[in-house]
Structure 1
Amino acid sequence: MSSTHGFRFIDLFAGVGGFHAALSALGGKCVYAVEVDKKAAAVYEKNWGVKALGDITKDASDEVMNVPAHEVLAAGFPCQPFSKSGAQRGMDETRGTLYYNILRIIQERHPKIVLLENVRNLAGPRHMHEWQVIIETLRDEGYRVSETPAVFSPHLLPPERGGRPQVRERVFITATYDPDGLTNGMDVDPPVLSGQPVDGWEPATWHLEDLLDDSHNITGCNLTDSERLWIDAWNDFVETWYEKTDGRRPPGMPIWADSWTDVWSTKSAVRRAFGSTPHYKDLMESDPTLPQWKAGHLAKNYALFLEHEDWLKPWTRKWGIFTDKFPASRRKLEWQAQDTPRLWDTVMQLRPSGIRAKRPTYLPALVAITQTSIVGPRERRLSPRETARMQGLPEWFDFGAQAPSATYKQMGNGVNVAAVWHVVREHVLRDEDLLKRSAPGRRIIEAIARAPLSPDAALEARH
């Protein structure tokens, strides 16, 4: 290995290279990368000079091992359900999943560090079985790994640590090879505390404007006439609400205009049955098929309309809320912007569940579908370059001539660079006692010791 590199790493399910950005800036050298999406693989090669066109199912199996030796394995792998046949555990249970192929690499190469990343739900109740199998199989292979999920988001890091104003909670599973059995299968704390800001940082003080500029705008950032109509209408609702309620913030519940038609008429059966303060239990009693959550939202919306119908009825007529100008999903508002005075002053997502509005401090997570955040004060969506900034990629990162939709998708699927940087750093500090027992481990420790607290300067210096 060249003396300029402290360790070798492999990049599985690599996307455009969020893991690569962090690990190479730490002094690592990529010796293998795999990415099945050809557009993402082309961007990866363009920026990192490494082909990421393999197929892990063909390169790592019972019959084949084409993955070279390495010290760090990184994988933002898809979560797939494991077989529960016969209540089995371990390797056999993972067959047919992509985690099985990762595990084959681990069995064959035993990297010093394993770094796995997945969506928040992997540590949720629906995937408890999968979580437990992953932890147990890593321990069976001789790894120190915490059974407690490490859930982390870049908005918890201050700017000087490379943080970004984006809520992007991801689960990290980090493991260190312990061939001598020093930890004896004992549990250990995760490298980062879930949901805890770092260094006393206050995420509410993020200033989104610091990462925005209009020099990279594209046609796709602009709002359509229909989108402006929807936002103008609900902006009028918000401003009128403040006026009519003496400055009380809009309710945080989902506001469903469609539900108002149930109590619109004075002859409405719902109005006559439940009066001006319907209760969700009354609705559930009258309709046993109603889920409690829906009954609760309906009851609150009925009460809201009955209290404010003197101005809500004219508002719906003024804007044509119940015409074909407003699809059903645009007749809903999810107000999560606290005391923000106008909808146009918020950050919005046009979601299937409605128009979601948040304070313009930090963004909801970038997603790989058409919900790119609208920055109200800028009256446009984030540009592709701005989404790259939100993921911590440097300004020199080049997406080539691909369509903006491909970039949005890649950023929605990507991993945040500073989150990886921070988790790796904290993991190495936690497991220094194991790593220092081998020369490769000591090189990893030295790389972390040399590294700054933020990847930003290191990445910019590469270009």
Structure 2
Amino acid sequence: MTTASAPFTFVDLFAGIGGFHSVLSHAGGRCVYVSEIDDAARSTYVHNWVTPLPEKMRPTINTDINLATPDEGLDPDFPENFGVLAAGFPCQPFSKSGHQHGMEEARGTLFWNIARILEERHPPVILLENVRNLVGPRHRHEWDVIIDTLRELGYRVSSKPTVFSPHFLPPSMGGTPQVRERVFILGTYIGPERVKEEIKTRGDVPPTLTRGPVNGWDPRNWDVEWVLDDDADIENIDRYRLTTAETKPETEWINVWDDLVQRMWAYRGERLPGFPLWADAWVPESSLNPNELDLLPPWKADFLIKNARFYDQHRDIITAWRTANPNFNQFPPSRRKLEWQAQDATSLWETVMHFRPSGIRAKAPTYVPALVAITQTSIVGKRRRKITPHEAARLQGLPRWFDFANAREALSYKQVGNGVAAGAAWYVFRAHVERDQDDLPRALVRAVLDAPLNPTGDALSPEAFAFEAELDRESQELLVG
């Protein structure tokens, strides 16, 4: 495919390992410029998305966004015309000293680099992604600067955020079992004057879509197993199994806590409570000093009171459990804490767990929390192992053939944690193009709307699609009946 024959071209900034690339190439787009400063992530990107291409179709690779956006003009290699600018940009605090809320105030931040490109090139569509906190109360100023700047540059954007997560989508539309709520900023270039006129006459444009499940999909239907590989197919699988070494007895930590879970079900018929359990705080409530509690942050005082009451209510079970597990006192402090979010699971080994600095967290085996750049790798209890980097990539909606160009697994987990969820990005991008199609290039609109609804291909196992199909069949039968 040549540039001329591609329905549209795109620029991929802060590109990571290629989440946006997978989405836009799904619609037939051709990447013409890539910028990524992290060496390992850039190597993975090139390995998967650039090297397989014929040399004449490969995009320009840039190592630092600042090299692409000098104060005067742009990098001479930066393309003149392209249809989409995609960027998962880092958010830095903006100076509040001037309260200018525009291009000048963005200077010195990485968003300014994006703004400089938009100022020079005016691509028809922008697709930006950032963390959920960007629209939180602590970052309201940053949000206002971003929206005001984009409008100054001629982009129709909503001042209300589009927040979405891949677990809201069914398998057939690119969903994956990961809660990853991210803010997407989508804009269409219509020129500064028209932006002003529309705001004056019509008011604010609504967000691209509403946060929530799509097409009646119930996120509780997810099953983490749908992104897992067969253990027999995983090379060096022992690297992912829970350790039993005396210096790091991960299996023992879980077994001991699971003993308490079993005792609670056997003797009380109850699951563990949802607040964090701090075993070191299990003392009678009568022994707590109200004056000392008043000096603590309210959340901590509340946890101490709840743990004391839990101890008072279940002292017999706790005493017997500690007597049966004297080694518990030698566990690291963070492993003497447990947060139960697994509903009615009857065993820790049925849950998805995380070893966190704040304790062991157990969740129902439906979907996993957002992958993060630091190593808090999900543990699948039934498999008694951590998910692999390959499986983590599939949680982001990347295909089974995707692999990493680095040998260090910590780097692979980091790259995935910093990535974009392909299914969520495609869904919001497609919705934006459909809504604004009258103001966008026809070839781009046609390519996006004609592309399959599922951009993630074989990221999920066939069982996921079979399950969804069975749900649809049952739903149809109910309607007919």
**TM-score normalized by the length of structure 1:** 0.90
- In the other structure, the counterpart of 1:229 is 252
- In the other structure, the counterpart of 1:204 is 220
CA contact (8 A) 2:227 2:459 kept: no
Q: Indicate the larger mover: 123-132 or 209-218.
A: 209-218
- Where 1:181 maps in the other structure, the secondary structure is helix
- In the other structure, the counterpart of 1:132 is 144
Residue 387 of structure 1, CA deviation: 0.8
CA contact (8 A) 2:129 2:183 kept: yes
Structure 1, gaps ≥5 residues long: 264-269, 275-282, 436-440
Residue 273 of structure 1, CA deviation: 6.3
Residue 220 of structure 1, CA deviation: 2.8
CA contact (8 A) 1:44 1:51 kept: no
- In the other structure, the counterpart of 2:10 is 9
Residue 130 of structure 1, CA deviation: 0.3
- In the other structure, the counterpart of 1:431 is 436
Residue 46 of structure 1, CA deviation: 1.1
Give the alignment partner of residue 184 of structure 1, picking from 194, 198, 211. 198
- In the other structure, the counterpart of 2:336 is 331
CA contact (8 A) 1:155 1:164 kept: yes
Q: Which residues of 2 match residues 16-31 of structure 1 at below 5 A?
A: 16-31=17-32
Matched, 1:156 2:171: no
CA contact (8 A) 2:12 2:31 kept: yes
Residue 86 of structure 1, CA deviation: 3.0
Once the two structures are superposed, residues 78-135 of structure 1 have per-residue CA deviations (whole angstroms, 9 ceiling, x without a partner) of 1100011133221221121101111101111111111110111111111111011101
- In the other structure, the counterpart of 1:279 is none
- In the other structure, the counterpart of 2:455 is 455
Residue 25 of structure 1, CA deviation: 1.5
Give the alignment partner of residue 67 of structure 2, picking from 58, 61, 64. 58
Quick one: distance in 2 between partners of 1:369 and 1:273?
A: 36
Q: How has the CA–CA distance of structure 1 residues 51 and 345 changed in structure 2, closer, same or farther, with 3 Å as cutoff?
A: farther
Query: Match of 1:249, as an amino acid?
Result: R
- In the other structure, the counterpart of 1:271 is 286
Residue 3 of structure 1, CA deviation: 4.2
CA contact (8 A) 2:399 2:457 kept: no
Query: Match of 1:181, as an amino acid?
Result: R
- In the other structure, the counterpart of 1:404 is 409
Residue 316 of structure 1, CA deviation: 2.4
Quick one: distance in 1 between partners of 2:459 and 2:314?
A: 54
- In the other structure, the counterpart of 1:68 is 79
Query: Match of 1:191, as an amino acid?
Result: T
- In the other structure, the counterpart of 1:239 is 262
Residue 294 of structure 1, CA deviation: 1.0
Quick one: distance in 2 between partners of 1:78 and 1:197?
A: 27
Query: Match of 1:312, as an amino acid?
Result: I
Give the alignment partner of residue 106 of structure 1, picking from 118, 123, 148. 118
- In the other structure, the counterpart of 1:257 is 279
Structure 2, gaps ≥5 residues long: 51-58, 461-481
Percentage identity across paired residues of the two chains? 53
Once the two structures are superposed, residues 373-399 of structure 1 have per-residue CA deviations (whole angstroms, 9 ceiling, x without a partner) of 000011101012111111111111131
- In the other structure, the counterpart of 1:380 is 385
Quick one: distance in 1 between partners of 2:396 and 2:287?
A: 53
CA contact (8 A) 2:262 2:346 kept: yes
CA contact (8 A) 2:27 2:448 kept: yes
CA contact (8 A) 1:58 1:64 kept: no
- Where 1:83 maps in the other structure, the secondary structure is coil
- Where 1:419 maps in the other structure, the secondary structure is helix
Quick one: distance in 2 between partners of 1:64 and 1:458?
A: 42
- Where 1:41 maps in the other structure, the secondary structure is helix
Once the two structures are superposed, residues 320-367 of structure 1 have per-residue CA deviations (whole angstroms, 9 ceiling, x without a partner) of 36533x111111111001101101100001111111111101111111
Q: How has the CA–CA distance of structure 1 residues 291 and 426 changed in structure 2, closer, same or farther, with 3 Å as cutoff?
A: same
Quick one: distance in 2 between partners of 1:91 and 1:305?
A: 57
CA contact (8 A) 2:3 2:9 kept: no
Measured on the aligned residues, the alpha-carbon RMSD in Å equals 1.9
- In the other structure, the counterpart of 1:267 is none
Quick one: distance in 1 between partners of 2:21 and 2:458?
A: 13
Query: Match of 1:159, as an amino acid?
Result: P
- In the other structure, the counterpart of 2:310 is 304
Give the alignment partner of residue 210 of structure 2, picking from 165, 173, 193. 193
Give the alignment partner of residue 413 of structure 1, picking from 418, 427, 450. 418
- Where 1:87 maps in the other structure, the secondary structure is coil
- In the other structure, the counterpart of 2:234 is 216
Quick one: distance in 2 between partners of 1:459 and 1:425?
A: 19
- Where 2:128 maps in the other structure, the secondary structure is strand
Quick one: distance in 2 between partners of 1:456 and 1:370?
A: 24
Once the two structures are superposed, residues 253-283 of structure 1 have per-residue CA deviations (whole angstroms, 9 ceiling, x without a partner) of 00011111x44xxxxxx62567xxxxxxxx3
Quick one: distance in 1 between partners of 2:240 and 2:319?
A: 33
**TM-score normalized by the length of structure 2:** 0.87
Residue 148 of structure 1, CA deviation: 1.0
- Where 1:168 maps in the other structure, the secondary structure is coil
Residue 430 of structure 1, CA deviation: 1.3
- Where 1:126 maps in the other structure, the secondary structure is helix
CA contact (8 A) 2:10 2:83 kept: yes
- Where 1:33 maps in the other structure, the secondary structure is strand
Query: Match of 1:271, as an amino acid?
Result: S
Quick one: distance in 2 between partners of 1:273 and 1:68?
A: 67
Quick one: distance in 2 between partners of 1:201 and 1:273?
A: 46
Matched, 1:120 2:137: no
CA contact (8 A) 1:321 1:331 kept: no
Matched, 1:295 2:329: no
- In the other structure, the counterpart of 1:280 is none
- In the other structure, the counterpart of 2:473 is none
Query: Match of 1:44, as an amino acid?
Result: Y
Quick one: distance in 2 between partners of 1:107 and 1:317?
A: 69
